[in-house]
Amino acid sequence: MKLLQCPVNGTRPISEFTYGGEYREAPDPQTSSDKIWADYVHNRHGSPGLKKEWWYHGPSGTWFIAERNTLTDNVSRTYLFGQEKDA
Amino acid sequence: MPLSLLKYALSREHPAPRFFRDCTEPKKTYDAVIIGGGGHGLAAAYYLAKDFGITNVAVLEKGYIGGGNTGRNTTIVRSNYLTPEGVNFYDASVQMYEGLSQELDINLFYSTRGHFTLAHTESAMRTMRWRAEVNKHVGVESYVVGPEEILKACPQLDISCSGQAPILGALYHAPGSVARHDAVAWGYAKEADRMGVEIFQNTEVTGIDVKSGKVVGVQTNKGYISSGRVLSAVAGFTPRITEMVGIETPIVIHPLQACVSEPMKPWLNTILVSGSLHVYVSQSSRGELVMGSSLDPYEVHSTRSSLDFVEGLSSHIVDMFPFLGNVKVVRQWAGMADITPDFAPIMGKTPVEGFYLDAGWGTWGFKATPISGKTMAETMARDIAPELIKSFRLSRFEEYELTGEKGAASVGH
């Protein structure tokens, strides 16, 4: 069984979690061009590597960030959004 | 074994026939380079040679031919999609498949079984009616059937699905077929080679050379090859190739797993799919049940398989066929599926001149092998997008003209 560390509830089975996609900065919709906005809406960094991702712990309703290597599936650390420095 | 047969096998005068030459040293330049020696890449090479007389072509395969998703799918060929552009495209492929064994002079074991997409809810029935109408409109034989007709084709099915999710009806698709998938790659390789195409296995592309917006060559582990035409047909490796030329795409990679049971006497004559239970199952010519499910839930660039998958799939298969409870799973594997947001491929020209993309094949690539090879060959030879694949262009995303296809494998509606 795969396990994942929830920053609030500790290590839990992966079946309790939902993947929320890569963490990405949104461009300002008021000032960005149509091309930049379309790129943000559709395109993804598809190649493998260490990524910051959103994950959700279902039973406790916790959204958090996991840093995961998408080639090896190793999670290096997890933390609540905005608490990167304390992790 | 009779001794004469053994003598024949060892004779120098009658060496075992090779399907294609064992190419090791690439030339310095080719008219076209195809990255990826799966069904799609080899088919493109074959149609480049056959339809356009372009035979100075190199196919570069990082591993061995047909060892990627061509040999990892569940071999189903069908065209009962949801959008007219999808149905037209896959129907052209089904028609090519029907004559492909003769054309390639290899037995593909192409077997038309009929294909049922089971509906367990009223909303699924609504989608089945929608798909049937679109299919009929385009001239593809699909219609909605009730439980009696499903049971006539497959009396072993527990129509109540152990009481969990009773089957209300199905979309029946008469041309639904299965084929021997590795033979498709080998057949195309054999015929392309015969016309002069060179196939290089264990040859990895490590870089692509682009000068003033135009592709000029590829760097490989066997040296530099110059060419003004490069096709990427690498499925799950697509993001790594597009990164080399600086093209952004919506493609993300999720593993797609499948497994086979131990062989049994033939009992399942048709192909069954359930979107609600996330399973598809058919019986191979060897007697194994070939079973697949939906995508793994998150991005991983790996072909490892998991216990979660067989557990989940088996419980749903036993809901449909309780008597399979004692049957063993003998093999499981995974492929890296290149998923697009609208469940349609990305085919054709790109912002880099001379660089063509045949990607985004997710869970629907095997059935499209002949038609994608043919249309990509035309795209490369004439530098235009054929009508059939115009709606699959890469630029549809920035133009907000997505296709709305959701007839892909085991996707819920």
CB contact under 8 A, A42 and B243: no
Distances (CA, A) of B17 to B4, B20, B198: 18, 9, 17
How many Cβ atoms sit within 10 Å of the Cβ of residue A45? 15
**CB contact at 8 A, B43 and B186:** no
A86, part of any domain: no
- pTM for this entry: 0.94
- Give residue B405's pLDDT band: very low, low, confident or very high (50, 70, 90): confident
User: What is the DSSP secondary structure assignment for residue B273, as one 8-state letter?
Assistant: E
Q: Residue B140: what residue type? A: V
Percent of chain A with pLDDT over 90: 93
What is the C-alpha separation between B383 and B231, in angstroms, rounded?
A: 12
Arithmetic mean of pLDDT, B362-369 = 95
Residue A20 in 3-state DSSP? strand
CB contact under 8 A, B239 and A19: no
In chain A, what residues touch B253 (CB-CB under 8 Å)?
46, 48, 70
When scoring A70, A71, A75 by the number of chain B Cβ atoms within 10 A, the one with the most, hence best to mutate, is A70
Q: Residue A35: what residue type? A: K
How many CB pairs (< 8 A) connect A and B?
Answer: 60
Which pLDDT score is estimated for B371? 98
A87, part of any domain: no
Percent of chain B with pLDDT over 90: 91
- Please check whether residue A72 touches B, CB under 8 A: yes
Task: Point out the residue among A1, A43, A51 whose CB comes nearest to the CB of B248.
Answer: A43
Which pLDDT score is estimated for B413? 39
Which pLDDT score is estimated for B408? 53
Cα Rg of chain A, angstroms: 15
Provide the terminal-to-terminal Cα distance of chain B, rounded to the nearest Å.
56
Which pLDDT score is estimated for B9? 76
Tally of domains within chain A? 1
User: What are the structure tokens assigned to A43, written together?
Assistant: 């395109």
> How confident is the model over B85-138, as pLDDT tens digits?
999 999 999 999 999 999 999 999 999 999 999 999 999 999 999 999 999 999
**Closest Cα to residue B31, out of B49, B56, B60, B61?**
B56
pLDDT at B8 > cutoff 80: no
- Give residue B344's pLDDT band: very low, low, confident or very high (50, 70, 90): very high
What is the C-alpha separation between B366 and B31, in angstroms, rounded?
A: 27
pLDDT at B410 > cutoff 60: no
pLDDT at B7 > cutoff 80: no
- Please check whether residue A33 touches B, CB under 8 A: no
A86 min Cα distance to partner chain B (Å):
26
A49, part of any domain: yes
**Closest Cα to residue B80, out of B178, B173, B153?**
B173
Segments of B242-328 assigned E as strands: 252-261, 271-274, 279-283, 289-295
> How confident is the model over B283-301, as pLDDT tens digits?
999 999 999 998 999 999 9
In chain B, what residues touch A42 (CB-CB under 8 Å)?
250, 341, 397-398
- Give residue B17's pLDDT band: very low, low, confident or very high (50, 70, 90): confident
Which pLDDT score is estimated for B143? 97
Buried b (16+ CB within 10 A) or exposed e, B246-259: ebbbbbbbbbbbbb
Arithmetic mean of pLDDT, B13-34 = 91
Which pLDDT score is estimated for B412? 45
A85, part of any domain: no
Arithmetic mean of pLDDT, B371-375 = 98
Q: Looking at residue A37, which CATH number applies to its domain?
A: 3.30.2270.10
pLDDT at B306 > cutoff 70: yes
pLDDT at B411 > cutoff 60: no
Residue B367 in 3-state DSSP? helix
A40 min Cα distance to partner chain B (Å):
10
Question: Does CATH place domain B113-175+252-339 in 3.30.9.10?
Answer: yes
- Give residue A1's pLDDT band: very low, low, confident or very high (50, 70, 90): confident
DSSP B200-256: ESS--EEEEEEETTEEEEEEETTEEEE-S-EEE--GGGHHHHHHHHT--B--EEEEE
Torsion angles phi and psi, residue B167, rounded to 5: -85, 125
> How confident is the model over A14-26, as pLDDT tens digits?
999 999 999 999 9
Arithmetic mean of pLDDT, A59-79 = 97
pLDDT at A87 > cutoff 90: no
In chain B, what residues touch A19 (CB-CB under 8 Å)?
297-299
Arithmetic mean of pLDDT, B302-314 = 93
Q: Where are the alpha helices (DSSP H) in B139-207?
A: 147-153, 181-194
- Please check whether residue B351 touches A, CB under 8 A: no
CB contact under 8 A, B397 and A18: no
DSSP A49-63: SEEEEEEEETTTTEE
Alpha carbon B26 to its chain centroid, in Å, reads: 28
